[in-house]
Chains A and B, each alone.
Chain A
Amino acid sequence: GAGVSQSPSNKVTEKGKDVELRCDPISGHTALYWYRQSLGQGLEFLIYFQGNSAPDKSGLPSDRFSAERTGGSVSTLTIQRTQQEDSAVYLCASSLDPPTVYNEQFFGPGTRLTVL
């Protein structure tokens, strides 16, 4: 079946512009996560959506970052007034429930964002 998809795969933007990154989770997955991966680094947690509960935004690095999840499915990560340090690969993952030993997180291929 279809996995997690993300679009665009690559995004080049100018400093100061806003960008929107999209994630389509696996159908039926109630949990959705956004991570950021800078070059040669591990995954940095950004935000977590679980069903209809209020999202866990504790990982968002600044108020320029926001995310929505419409209808419990598709999610959009928005970065306003992009800065060069925002350049990274942004990964989305989904799972059936909050992570337990039974519910694997499935990752999308990521969106590579380059801010010039």
Chain B
Amino acid sequence: GESVGLHLPTLSVQEGDNSIINCAYSNSASDYFIWYKQESGKGPQFIIDIRSNMDKRQGQRVTVLLNKTVKHLSLQIAATQPGDSAVYFCAVVYSSASKIIFGSGTRLSIRP
């Protein structure tokens, strides 16, 4: 079956430094991948996605890297700010099954 994991449960980063959050997945039959940000008391919010035929995609201060060979996904946040404090989830989409499998999440905390 599908699984998504290998998150570090917590990541502490100095304000202004770059953050890298990693995710691994097991099933190669995935269509695309999403990163979500979940702030305390709120539902997950879409950050960025990447198709399975791409290996890099950039947004505003965020970059997602996909390595299909080792089934690994990462989210890089540049110049981390206090507002970036949240739990970050990766999600793997299997469109043929209309399923999204979420990882367990990484809590990002920012040191002043």
Where the two chains meet, the residues of A that have a C-beta atom closer than 8 Å to any C-beta of B are: 4, 31, 33, 35, 40-45, 48, 50, 56, 91, 93, 98-101, 104-110
User: B41 in the interface, Cβ–Cβ < 8 Å?
Assistant: yes
Kindly list 20 other residue pairs between chains A and B, CB separation below 8 angstroms, not including A42-B104, A101-B51: A4-B43, A31-B98, A42-B4, A42-B89, A42-B103, A42-B105, A43-B102, A44-B102, A45-B101, A48-B99, A50-B98, A56-B99, A98-B98, A100-B31, A100-B95, A101-B32, A105-B46, A107-B45, A109-B41, A110-B42
Please report the C-alpha to C-alpha distance between residue A93 and residue B49 in the assembled complex, in whole angstroms.
Answer: 17
Residues of A within 8 A of B31 (CB): 100-101
Top 6 A-B pairs ranked by shortest CB distance?
A: A107-B43, A42-B104, A43-B102, A98-B98, A42-B102, A107-B44
User: B100 in the interface, Cβ–Cβ < 8 Å?
Assistant: yes
Q: List 29 A-B contacts (CB under 8 A).
A: A31-B98, A33-B100, A35-B102, A40-B105, A41-B104, A41-B105, A42-B4, A42-B102, A42-B105, A43-B44, A43-B89, A43-B91, A45-B99, A45-B101, A45-B102, A48-B99, A50-B98, A56-B99, A91-B44, A99-B98, A100-B95, A101-B51, A104-B46, A104-B49, A107-B44, A109-B41, A109-B43, A110-B42, A110-B43
On chain B, the number of residues with a Cβ less than 8 Å from chain A's Cβ atoms is 24
Chain B nearest Cβ from A11, distance in angstroms: 15
Please report the C-alpha to C-alpha distance between residue A98 and residue B94 in the assembled complex, in whole angstroms.
Answer: 10
**B32-89, CB < 8 A from A:** 32, 41-46, 49, 51, 89
Where the two chains meet, the residues of B that have a C-beta atom closer than 8 Å to any C-beta of A are: 4, 9, 31-32, 41-46, 49, 51, 89, 91, 93, 95, 98-105
